[in-house]
Structure 1
Amino acid sequence: MVFFGGASVSVVHACARDGRGGSPTAVTDDGPYGDDERRRVPGAAGASHAVFVSRGPEQDGRPVFSLRFFTSEGELPSCGHGTLAALGYLAARADTDSDPYRVTLRVGGRTFPGRAVRKGPYAEADFAYGPVELREPDPGESALVLPTLGIPPHALGPGLRVASVGRPRLLVPVASPSVLAALAPDMERLRAACDRLGLLGCYVYAAPSPSGRVAARMFAPSIGVPEDVANANSTACLAAHLGERGIDRVTVDMGDSLGSPATLRARTSGQGLRLGGDVLVTRPPLLP
């Protein structure tokens, strides 16, 4: 645990796989901090992202929390794995046997339900996801970005899409997990291309297995994260894309190339999209 402005910061491992790995995410209560201070928290905590939590008045008998997300580059409009980390953090801090622990979350202009089922030091967290915008990339976008990833032309799969949940990113299919594992993007060129096009980054994934298992990697140097251990927003984008093809459940493995295995789950239905993962929670101190 680290301290920031006199407040404790918990490092929560979001989207862990089989009790290991996950994406280290700094979570703390928000306060009268400047954004420059908030930007320093991820690095100080040894994390790529930080989540700042503020409690509001209860709604329909449930706690309500607003979330803000930062990397070293600045604020993000949303962060899926940060939302899962916050749900685990809040469930641990509630120190209640209520199972599942249910809350209402506010991120940007959206209000939505989330829950966490506690299992010892872990929590199974999920939340209702918002709409995902999908479109075909134009030739100029593809021509500028794809060469920076180093994907052999014969190894590029069908179904290239631009997906947006606040900021657009490129979904890039490749032929196999081995092609995915071998990628070594030119980060400087990738950042320049993404900055020019206003893209968050590139989410590269191998074709799903018949059971919906997918391997993926997220490259986002434009937000100060060359490769993300677990990118839940992009996983939701992929789930929305695959849902159009009749695949309503996906399990996505990430982080193996970074030595921190992570797994995310997403499902689509008539009620919308839900995104989830297992969260390793180090119990934060109870607040008055």
Structure 2
Amino acid sequence: MTVGVTIVDACIHQGRGGSPTAVLLDDDRLDDDARRAVVRAAGTSHAAFVIPATDAVRFFTSNAELTNCGHGTIAAQAFLLHSRGTAVHHGRQRSGARTFDTTAVRRDDGIEVWFDQGIVDLPRTDPAGLGRILDALGIAGPALADGDRPVVASPGTPRLLVPVASTAVLLSLRPDFGRLADECRRHGYLGCFVYRMSPERDTADARMFAPAIGVDEDIVNANSSGCLAAHLHATHGRGTIDVLQGHAAGRPCLVHATATTTAEGISTRVGGTALIRSPADAP
């Protein structure tokens, strides 16, 4: 099941870490059960199935298809640039119901990829089920950050953004994944993106918990970083954010995100650097 699979470390930080992502050319003889089996066989949290003829990319975890995946997009576009053997490519990607712009550039430390995340919806209403979700995460009231609050953000799939007061709180979290999965499914959330803003401007540390889609803790979640950029832009006027992730997995990750106000709403772009593993480095 791993024949033809390339492992791409997406969103590396200072030349190492990143989220291992399986990338391969799609085969229309595969059904979705087989695609999910590829993820399990590759030993990664996600896989990107690329169809170059139509610029389409499909994303799977071991138990679900995703309408989009930020770090999977970074991995897929790095894979395509590497396959072409070129230094730069400006393209378009079709995933789910969207077609969006992508840019991939070969750098000394890897392949830098940016993509247009589009409009991020930020409902003004209080998040549904918040109390039960915070309890499942193990976050008590005093652990929440002052001057911020949990919100729902959606670039197409809703997720909960949860600010905490310190890095110590962030790193100490040990969620009840069964309860968290149940609550997220009940309220239609992809998962929970828990973050701590750094005293340094425009930097945050974060962890993503998404047991409802079969990923208890995502090493990196680039789309949620874009959602955070949109939220900070809406509430504090910030235009850029660098989000550090992967601490708990021992795989440092860095995601860049920018947010701007448009006539349609807050639009974001998300970027990261990827490394293509050589066959000797693949699992």
Scaled by the length of structure 2, the TM-score of the pair is 0.91
Distance in 2, matches of 1:217 and 1:136, equals 23
- Quick check: 1:232 aligned with 2:227? no
* Larger relative strand fraction: 1
Instruction: Identify which of 149, 154, 158 aligns with 2:142.
Output: 154
Stretch of structure 1 that moved more, 260-269 or 202-211: 202-211
Instruction: Identify which of 93, 103, 111 aligns with 1:115.
Output: 103
The alignment partner of 1:258 has SS state of: coil
Conserved in 2, the CA contact under 8 Å of 1:113 and 1:128?
yes
Conserved in 1, the CA contact under 8 Å of 2:204 and 2:241?
yes
- Quick check: 1:40 aligned with 2:30? no
Which residue identity is paired with 2:156? G
1:196–1:114 Cα change, 3 Å = same
Instruction: Identify which of 86, 94, 100 aligns with 1:106.
Output: 94
Distance in 1, matches of 2:227 and 2:43, equals 27
In the TM superposition, what is the alpha-carbon distance from 1:140 to its structure 2 partner?
4.8
Instruction: Identify which of 189, 193, 204 aligns with 2:183.
Output: 193
Q: Mind listing any 5+ residue stretches in structure 2 that lack a counterpart?
A: none
- Quick check: 1:90 aligned with 2:80? yes
1:51-90 residue pairs with structure 2 within 5 A?
Answer: 51-56=48-53, 65-90=55-80
In the TM superposition, what is the alpha-carbon distance from 1:268 to its structure 2 partner?
1.6
In the TM superposition, what is the alpha-carbon distance from 1:74 to its structure 2 partner?
1.2
The alignment partner of 1:135 has SS state of: coil
Stretch of structure 1 that moved more, 136-145 or 21-30: 136-145
In the TM superposition, what is the alpha-carbon distance from 1:240 to its structure 2 partner?
0.6
1:252-267 residue pairs with structure 2 within 5 A?
Answer: 252-267=243-258
- Quick check: 1:242 aligned with 2:237? no
1:34-93 per-residue CA deviation (whole Å, 9 max, x = no partner) reads 00000111121111000011123xxxxxxx510100001110010000000011100100
Distance in 2, matches of 1:218 and 1:40, equals 23
In the TM superposition, what is the alpha-carbon distance from 1:121 to its structure 2 partner?
6.5
Conserved in 2, the CA contact under 8 Å of 1:54 and 1:66?
yes
What is the percent sequence identity of the aligned residues? 46
| Residue in structure 2 matched with residue 60 of structure 1 by the alignment | none
Distance in 2, matches of 1:135 and 1:177, equals 27
Scaled by the length of structure 1, the TM-score of the pair is 0.89
The alignment partner of 2:73 has SS state of: helix
Which residue identity is paired with 1:101? H
1:84–1:100 Cα change, 3 Å = same
- Quick check: 1:169 aligned with 2:159? yes
Equivalenced residues, count: 271
Q: Mind listing any 5+ residue stretches in structure 1 that lack a counterpart?
A: 57-63
Instruction: Identify which of 204, 207, 224 aligns with 1:214.
Output: 204
| Residue in structure 1 matched with residue 18 of structure 2 by the alignment | 22
Instruction: Identify which of 131, 134, 158 aligns with 1:143.
Output: 131
Superposition RMSD in Å: 1.8
| Residue in structure 2 matched with residue 181 of structure 1 by the alignment | 171
Distance in 2, matches of 1:121 and 1:138, equals 42
Which residue identity is paired with 1:128? D
